[in-house]
Each structure stands twice: as structure tokens, then as C-alpha cells.
Structure 1
């Protein structure tokens, strides 16, 4: 393993957070984050945002709102 550097770590951060990299690339970025405070801070912000989006995506709209949106879509499409 070699330290990938800030440019590579920041460019691939999104894929890293979603575990969409090869094992080697993931390990390289993890190693870099362990030794670079700036990139580690950026990864932390990315994790917080990713977790917030995941939680938000689990929520469902209230039934009344869902019906209202579908009704409005049907009206819009009909015209």
C-alpha cells in the first residue's frame, strides 16, 4: 500500500464513503485519512452528510401529502 495523497483521496471520497472502490483503493484512501487531518476532516463531513441523507431517504411522506401530490400530477398531465 502507498499513501494516495490528498488529490486522490478528495477525488474519490464519495466512492470511498459508499464503499464503491476496489479493496486496494479503499485501503490506500483509509491509510491517507489516518495520517492527514485535512482529508480526515473532509471525510468526517462527508460521512455526516451521507448518514443524514440515508436517514432522510427512509422517511416516507404522510398519506395525505402523497395523495395530494399524485392528484396534482394527474391534473397536470391531463392538461
Structure 2
């Protein structure tokens, strides 16, 4: 019986590139409303336009946010 390999439940944050909001919320455990309120207040990074209706978040900005949170600083 072959061993099953489980995929990680949290997406890997790439070094560069963009993530859509659904992937961001898997990495940063807040609800959608809290995320949008954080973006509006400047606590979380703003999205970048990827197309006419598509928005994404820079991996570098998310990595900086995670580093600040891990350092115990306010987002």
C-alpha cells in the first residue's frame, strides 16, 4: 500500500509574485471583513490591479507584514 502524501493546508508564500485574497486569508488568519478594514486603515498592504477587475497582493508586502507580526509589532 503506497504512502499518501498530503498537501500542506497553508499555501506556500512565493518569494515574488502576487496572491489573490483567498490565498492571503489562508496565510493571515482573519476574516474578509477584518482584512478589508485593515487595508482601509493602512494596517495591511493594499492590493495591486492585475487586470480590469482582478486584484492581487504582492508576496513581498505580505512577507513584510508577517515579519512585523512575528516580531510582535502591530500590523
- TM-score exceeds 0.5: no
Determine which structure has more spread, i.e. the larger CA radius of gyration.
Answer: 1
The structure whose RCO (Cα within 8 Å, separation 6+) is larger is: 2
- Of Structure 1 and Structure 2, the greater helix share is in 1
TM range (shorter): under 0.3
Scaled by the length of structure 2, the TM-score of the pair is 0.26
